[in-house]
Amino acid sequence: QYSFQEGGWGAYLAERLVRKCDVVNRGLSGYNSRWAKLILPRLITGSSSAESTVAVTIFFGANDSALKELNPKQHVPLEEYAANLKSMIQYLKSVDITEDRIILITPPPLQESAWEQACLAKGEKLNRRNATTGEYAQACVQVAGDCGTEVLDLWTLMQNNQDFSSYLSDGLHLSTRGNSFLAAQLWSRLEKKLSALPSLLPYWRDVDHANPEASLL
């Protein structure tokens, strides 16, 4: 949901793809894969033109991996999370969006000390653990392998030989730097698919001003 904020990764992609294709944001703050699986047919319908869909990202796990005893509302068991991802992929394939156009994104790592401060400010205990989030990230990677989709393993990439705290605004949600990191990683996977897309309508200098119909219709 926040990806279209200023500096968000969705906004970055939309800017890169202006006049080539629309970037549609269907992110929902706080949702988990259990709820997403139920509403996906409403977000991407059978009547959607699969031919015009060049890519779909599925980005869940940060809420699913919340600790059951401290956050039962958002928690989804690991096995169900994997099954939900597979179900969403199967649904997309049923409306003719093939697996080569689907990219799974793992949850990012959790910076526990920062998120604990955010929890304490709300009178709550630390309700997530980075090691647990990592198990969900591993499951996401496994599902991608089983189903033949691409995957962006954000959990691993953000922790590769570096302090990842600056990628997160509060230990859980992406900061501006984290959004930029995700956008760059995602674009490197999308560029090959999308670089050949033609621009929609001619550049203004190429429009025949004396006979615009000839250029625009």
Does residue 87 sit in helix, strand or coil?
helix
What contacts 17, CB < 8 A, 6 or more positions away? 23, 194, 197
Single pTM value for the model: 0.93
Taken in order of first residue, the domains within the chain and their CATH numbers are 2-215 (3.40.50.1110)
What residues contact 205, with CB distance under 8 A and at least 6 apart? Answer: none
The number of CA neighbours under 13 Å toward the Cβ of 5 is 14
Span 81-91, pLDDT tens digits: 999 999 999 99
Burial of 104 (0-12, 13-18, 19+ CB in 10 A): buried
Q: For 8-60, how does the pLDDT look when each residue is reduced to its tens digit (9 = 90+)?
A: 999 999 999 998 889 999 999 999 999 999 999 999 987 777 778 999 999 99
